[in-house]
Each structure stands twice: as C-alpha cells, then as structure tokens.
Amino acid sequence: MALLPSIPFDVQPGTPSRGLPPGCKAFGARASPAAVESWLKPWRDRGSDLSLLLVLAGTRTAEVEGISAAGASSASRRYTAVADAELLLKGVDRPRLWPLPPLPAGMSPALISYVAARWIGVDPLVAAVGLPLPPPFPHLRLEAAELGPAACLSTGEAMDHLRVQSLWQRGFCLGRGLRRPLVLAECVPGGTTTAQAVLTGLGLQVAGLISGSARRPAMVLKQELVDLGLRQAALGFNPSPQRLLSALGDPFQPIAVGLILGAREAGQPVLLGGGSQMVAVLALALAAIEPARRQDIADGIALGTTAWLAEEVNHSDGRPAALACLVDRVGEYFGVRLLGLSTGLRFHLSNHQALQDYELGHVKEGVGAGALALLAQLQGASCQQLVEACDQSMDQLLKVSSSGDSCCPVGSNP
C-alpha cells in the first residue's frame, strides 16, 4: 500500500480543547475544536444509554519471558484478563474467585474502569475469546472455549484462517445490531506486541511508537518477535487484513475490527478505549474497506486513553506524545483524519502508592480505563472526585483482601 500525501495538523497533539472537561486533551489531525465538539455531541449526558463491551482474549505471545508486565510471571498472565474483568463486574467489596495478578508495581487499571463505570451508571458486557481459563461469571462466548489462545506471533501461524473469518463475522454482526453508542475495551496480555506486528505487516513504520505494560517496554524483544513472525509467515506483497491476523494477530483483533465496521454501518459512534492495540484494529478496519469510505468510518470513531499513555515518549528518540504520532501515522497512511482524546485523571494526590505508581510509568492503561474516565468527566465527575473514589475503592479492596478474599495484595508474589 503506497503512502498517501501528508495531512496538515489543525492543532498540535495534546492540545486542550473547548468542550472537553478540565485536564482532558485532544490529539491527532482531527483535533480541531469544531471536530472535537462534533464528536462529543452524541456522548454528552447519555448516562447509561450506551453499550460497554470488554473483550478478553489470550495469545501465547504473552508467555514470552519479559514481553509483558500485565502480571509478574507468564503463569500469572494467563488469568490477568479474567481477574480484571471480575473486578470490573463484581467491584472491590465482594469476594472474587480470581486474584489480581501480582504486578511489579502499581494497581490494575480495572480499578479505574470500575470507579468510572459506576459513575456513568453503565453495566459492562464481557466477551471472552481464546482464554486458557473459562471466566467464572456470565459472559458472551464468541467461539468454542477449547480453541484456546492464539499461538505466539513469532510462529507466523497465530490463528487458523477460518477462525479469523468467524470471529470477524461475529464481531460485525454484533456491531451491526447496535442501537446505542459503543465503548469498546480490551484486556489482552501481550496485545501491544501483536498490535505492533499487524501494523508492521500493513506496511507502517511504528518502531518506538508502540507502548507496553512495563515501565520500560521491551522494545528490542518486541521487534525481534515481530521480525521472526513476518519471516515465518512469508506474507508477500499487500496481504489482506485477515491474512495478517491469521499470521500475527490475537483473537481480540478480528472481533474488534468486525465490531468497528458493523457499528459504523449501524450509524453508531465508537469510543475505542485504549492505546496502540485500538489503533491497530482501527488500521485493520480502514485497510479492509475501499478508500472512498474511510473518512466516513473514521468520523464516528475516537480513541479514548489515559494521560499517562498519551504523554508517553517515543521509545526511539525520546520525543513526547508517541501515541499521538502513531495515530497520525496511521491516519496519514490511510488518507484520513483521526481523533484521540485523553482523560485529565492523574494520581499525584492519591493516598495510595499503588496509584501514585501510575505517575512513575508502572501502569498506563487497560480495561478501557481512559475512555471510561473521560466519559465520567463528560458527565460531571471532577478529577478530584475520581481520585477520591479510586482511593476509597483501594481501601475496600485491601480490606477485603486482608479478610481472606483470594485477591493478592498489591505487589505481592504468587
């Protein structure tokens, strides 16, 4: 695919915009005040009148030593998605069957998502695909559980092509049936590496722009896996998005691409909660449709993320706003203008070190935390109120943990 002409910026990435709550910023080539206000209009004061879908998925890529910090060991990362979803669904004051995986530092972003979802008043729907363990709560099952996680992307044979087609179509049907705006969230340990792989396979130069769950992402290791996977796959020139996913992807990605395309066909706006993983599925969706339709699809979509991720530096040259650069690189490649939004939530004044660790880069995003915090702010929550609610939830979480719940204390070892 040839690189399309450069698109001029309306504003600099990370610019506060009229219409956004305090501390929130807009970035991307579509981040003009008029474009931001137009996008926000259908989301204001919706309360619970929206659909929140959290997709849990698994890939053996997460089991490569050193690739992810979404759990301190490869064994703990096998149940990260289920534990995060259980926290989002059940909350902090009820016993849960699965402990939060021990982290090197910090606290799962599912805590932020739980607090923000309660403020909004939305009930999450959880879908599970390719997990090594079945979730112990009601969920939407999108394929046979025995299929399990995708193979490591380094094999060049991550998923069977029929599996990719089926998941893509299931996502499309779900999206096309929507009658409310969609907030799409994910929990996929190893997912930033599969995101880097498919973006590279599409022909984009993204080295240094892809984040990770670790404070200092394993950039060299990620690139080595991607390079090996591409060599093994021998994709040839301009492979189709589904061929790319079969070779290098994870089960979340075809579901998400289908959801995006289906939701936009149904005329519903979409808020993608996350960072590079959501940029990757948006890129795949744009690649799957004819160029004349791409801007119309993109106009109803925004990326919603945290300030910690939005302000992360480019790991190649140390310049700020790597995610904004990634968003615009994808937009330029496909000839569209894309919009990113970051919440104003920060934890400098939190009472808990595990939350203050966000400010040190130990945790950045996940489980739709940034998008949900942004929506809570749009519906009247101040950053101070969100911090206080997160502190109170941490107090309750630790209290339940100390009273005998299975949840591991923050920072503990398995």
Write down the domain spans for the chain. Answer: 25-401
CATH topology of domain 25-401: Rossmann fold (3.40.50)
The residue ranges of DSSP E strands in 3-122, in sequence order, are 25-27, 51-57
Q: Which of 157, 283, 288, 151 is nearest to 231 (CA)?
A: 157
Per-residue pLDDT, 12: 42
pLDDT band at residue 5, thresholds of 50, 70 and 90? Answer: very low
pLDDT band at residue 316, thresholds of 50, 70 and 90? Answer: low
| pLDDT tens figures, 82-114 | 889 999 999 888 777 667 766 667 789 999 999
pLDDT band at residue 305, thresholds of 50, 70 and 90? Answer: very high
SS3 141: strand
In angstroms, the CA 141 to CA 138 distance is 9
Q: In the structure encoding, which two tokens stand for residue 329, read together?
A: 């690189």
Q: What is the mean pLDDT of residues 374-390?
A: 96
* Predicted confidence (pLDDT) at residue 409 exceeds the cutoff of 50: no
pLDDT band at residue 6, thresholds of 50, 70 and 90? Answer: very low
Angle between helices 191-202 and 241-248 (to 10 degrees): 140
Per-residue pLDDT, 377: 96
For the entire predicted model, the pTM comes to 0.90
In angstroms, the CA 377 to CA 136 distance is 31
